[in-house]
Structure 1
Amino acid sequence: MARAFELNSNEWELVTDASIIYRKNSIVEKAIGLMGEIQRAMEGQAITKDFPFPGKCLQYGAKISRGERYLALPYVILDYPRLFKGEAIFAFRTMFWWGQYFSITLLLAGEIKDRFTPGLLNMQQFLADEGFYICIHESPWHHHFESSNYRKISEVPAEAWGELIMASRFIKLAQPYGLGDWGKMLDFTVHAYAALLTRLDDSQRIIESVPDPVE
């Protein structure tokens, strides 16, 4: 009986081939480079100058991080714009996940989520048309698109949308993209970022411009 630490034939083939790791490292470095290009393109968008970001989202700058074991697979993450201040969170995240997909997410939590709730309540049709998903998990720190974590917004009944927005202390909107879209991710991410924040800003302004009813 083989002992637990013994290598099988496939593992022997891998462990004796250093080029696999060199190629993997090259891909991760290119993913980091892609994130840098995405950040610079987002920074140049008009909405980045016009959107009423809470706190010091833009002053904190971009953060690119990498890891080896999100569900056992390597990843690269860009957070920009970003604000993590206790329970108050505003973060636009772009993620490359090895062997799986790219994803973009907008996470609003705590008092920041409360601030933008009126605008979000009026955005379901827009988000559905754009192909967004909404997180239904109790934690915002899962990134996979299994049914336990995300639900396609086009499949959420209109009468349930308000409850879904109001019930949680955070809202996480997301879109997945195939790895085959690598060469298009800059354009896809910038489009989603600009469209999402522009619509959120417009929706919020409309709500805030409506006068309170006269008693």
Structure 2
Amino acid sequence: MTTTPPNGPFNVHRVAANEETTVLTPVTEGSTALDRIPVSRQRLWIAVTAVGVILLAVAIGLIVHLRNVSLKWEQQVTEVKAQNYDLGQRVASEQAQVVNLHGENDQLASQLKTVQQKVLDLGASAAQQGDNVQFYARQIDQLTTTLSTAKGVANALDRCIEGKTQLIGYLKDAASATPTYDPAQITDFEASLKIKCDNAVTSNVQLQQVLTP
């Protein structure tokens, strides 16, 4: 009689070497959720976090840089607008002065014609009358001197007008997007022109005191 093993007819003998053994890692007290994450995942999480921090720092730096560039650009725009406004004011002032100088020059030209006619009239009178020759000679000499002075003043006013016309062109060029002339050179030209024009205007004022009765 065959004895059936206690575990039935299909009982298989269990061999420890043929079975997988699962080793459980005990959870110690005080361990965190990060400690229970596998090492590979921990490294991946650290790498992703580091990349995120770097990107955030780069983004913040870029924002700060763009902000600084924007502020500098706004400041430059404000300065350019102020400069253009100042240049516009100077152009308008120079144009007004040119108009006034043209008026003074026209008046002086008319006075020159009058003086020339007086010289001719005195010469004719002296030739016809024959007397008081010395009186007419002195009158003619005075008028001739005045005429010469007036011509010099007229030439000075003409040069002043020409210089101011050039200056207006320089100022308009300085206000353009691509200026051609150096601002320092324009300033020097304007300073020398002011001296020239001031002398011309002063000479004309003195001449008007002689020509005006």
Does TM-score exceed 0.5, indicating one fold?
Answer: no
Answer 1 or 2: which has greater helix percent: 2
TM-score, normalised to structure 2's length? 0.30
| Rg larger for | 2
- Relative to total residues, which structure has the larger strand share, 1 or 2? 1
